[in-house]
Structures are given as C-alpha cells and as structure tokens.
C-alpha cells in the first residue's frame, strides 16, 4: 500500500538526546515529519503552540514545518529520541543526511525536498508507545542504525515508506490520543495495560484515577470511542490472541493470563470478540 504514495520518502536523521536540567532548545521551523518519543525522564515539549508533557513512552508525531521547543525538568531531565522523515525527496538528488532547523540552513526550502498530503497527520498527534507494536520495533531499529552510523541511501529510502505507514496507522487507531485527550486517560490506559492478567473493572479504573465513574466513562467514549468495559475486554482478547499465537499454553492457561480463570467463560468472550474459538484461532495460525 505504501509503494505508491511514499515511494520517494527517505529517513534523513535519527538521534538520541539527553538534555540537561532545565535545558531549553527551540526551533522555529523544522522541515521534516518527525516521530519524537521520551525514553526516560520528564519535561515539556511545546509543538505548534501545543503543550505536551513528556514522560517515558509518550510520543509525538509532528507535521512538516513544525515549530518546537524543548523544556527539560530540573530534577529528572528527559532523554529523547527522534526520527526525521522527508516524505518527498527527488531521486535525482543524492540524499544529504540532515534536517533544516534554522532559516540559514542550506537545506531550508530546497526544491528537491518536500511534504506529501496526509490528512490524518495534518496536525500533531500524541500517545503512548506500545512496546510490542510494529511502530516501536521499527522506530528502535531505525534509531539504532543512525546511532551506529549513517546508513546507505538505499536503506534509508527503504525504511521510510513502512515507517510513514505505521505513523498513519497510529494516527488512525483509537488507542492513539488526540492532542486534546487528557493525561489522566493515558495514565488510566497505562495502568490497565499492566493489569490485564487480573480481573479488571470500571471500579478499578475509578479507584486508580480518583475520578468519578461518569468522568472515566466520558473520557473513554470521547477519545477511544468505546466504553471502559468494552475497551478492557478488547485489550484482554488481543493479549489472548497473541498468547495463542506465540506461546504453548493450554486454553485454560491463556485465560488465566488475561484474568479470566474460567475456561468456558474465556472461550465465550474470545469467540465474541474474534468470531472463532480459542482452539480454532490457534489452529488457523502456524508456528514459525
């Protein structure tokens, strides 16, 4: 799917930066699409006027030409990672590894670099990285290549299309938060994802967050387009599907791993969410 619209894309820079206590960095216009995420520590990123508190796992998908300012915390300054992509780079021009950050930069406004229309990524997107997601694995791989050294142009071009596709998919998924989504919702989601092996209910989310049931329900409906109970069940069944594909566990053991110790009830829930029984689901998938 990405071959046509991203065939001229290229990754031009990726790096890890440890900011010092209260260190500030500002760029008035960055000519790239950027994936930025926090690996450790805390701080504030202000992108296109939007204040984005950063903590480990939180990421931003930044549009072309974004304005950005970094504000590291005093007691625990953040460690950030970033990947810059040029969605359209002329095949007639050799790739220069770097990004225009300043008005005097020689790459600023050059004709052979540019953006492509991506409606779902027109504005800033933010959320929390799923450690098991393809986006996370691909981003870590790209980052590792650039930390090790400059990759060959053919590889930098091959990596850009799937990375852009993952960013588009991330922006379209309901688990990715809009810039207006409250931080409280993200903390609830993180908490719930670490508790999938246990019985989990709306009351547990309420107790953890200190919010009322109606407030929690309203946040889920507005930003995740579902109810807390349905979302929890969906996350449990996604985890169960992964366990059925990758682990040699009995059906009952899989149920226990997602907090549903009753094998009959687990099978009923799994069938409701996937359309097949756990046994049939596993049979349809093959081991490596």
Higher pLDDT residue, 36 or 193? 36
pLDDT tens digits for range 259-284: 999 999 999 999 998 888 999 888 77
| Cα 145 versus chain centre, distance | 19
Instruction: Give 174-203 pLDDT, tens digit per residue.
Output: 444 444 567 788 788 878 888 899 999 999
185 near 223, Cβ under 8 Å? Answer: yes
Rounded Cα distance between 120 and 172, Å, is 7
Enumerate residues 6+ apart whose C-beta is below 8 A from 74.
21, 22
Threshold 0.85, pTM exceeds: no
What pLDDT shows up at residue 138?
A: 96
Non-local (6+) Cβ contacts of 200 within 8 A are: 192, 232, 236, 259
Residue 215 makes CB contacts below 8 A (sequence gap 6+) with none
Q: What is the pLDDT of residues 42-83, one digit of tens each?
A: 999 999 999 999 988 889 999 999 999 999 999 999 999 999
Phi, psi of 3 (to 5 degrees): -60, -40
In order of start, what are the domains of the chain with their CATH numbers?
Answer: 2-172 (2.60.120.280), 183-284 (1.10.10.60)
């Amino acid at each position: 799917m990405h071959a046509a619209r991203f065939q001229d894309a290229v990754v031009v820079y990726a790096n890890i930066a440890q900011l010092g206590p209260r260190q500030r960095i500002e760029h008035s216009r960055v000519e790239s699409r950027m994936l930025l995420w926090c690996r450790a520590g805390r701080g504030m990123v202000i992108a296109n006027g939007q204040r984005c508190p950063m903590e480990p796992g939180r990421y931003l998908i930044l549009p072309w030409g974004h304005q950005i300012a970094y504000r590291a915390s005093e007691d625990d300054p953040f460690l950030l990672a970033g990947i810059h992509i040029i969605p359209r780079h002329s095949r007639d021009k050799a790739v220069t590894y770097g990004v225009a950050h300043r008005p005097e930069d020689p790459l600023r406004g050059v004709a052979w670099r540019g953006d492509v229309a991506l409606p779902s990524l027109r504005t800033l997107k933010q959320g929390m990285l799923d450690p098991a997601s393809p986006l996370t694995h691909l981003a870590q791989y790209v980052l590792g290549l650039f930390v090790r050294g400059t990759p060959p142009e053919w590889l930098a071009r091959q990596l850009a299309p799937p990375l852009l596709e993952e960013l588009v998919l991330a922006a379209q998924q309901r688990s990715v938060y809009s810039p207006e989504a409250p931080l409280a919702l993200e903390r609830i989601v993180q908490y719930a994802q670490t508790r999938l092996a246990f019985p989990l209910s709306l009351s547990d989310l309420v107790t953890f967050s200190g919010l009322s049931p109606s407030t929690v329900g309203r946040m889920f409906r507005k930003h995740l387009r579902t109810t807390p109970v349905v979302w929890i069940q969906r996350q449990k069944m996604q985890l169960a599907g992964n366990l059925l594909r990758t682990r040699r566990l009995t059906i009952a053991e899989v149920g226990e791993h997602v907090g549903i110790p009753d094998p009959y009830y687990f099978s009923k829930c799994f069938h409701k969410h996937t359309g097949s029984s756990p046994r049939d689901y596993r049979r349809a998938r093959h081991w490596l």
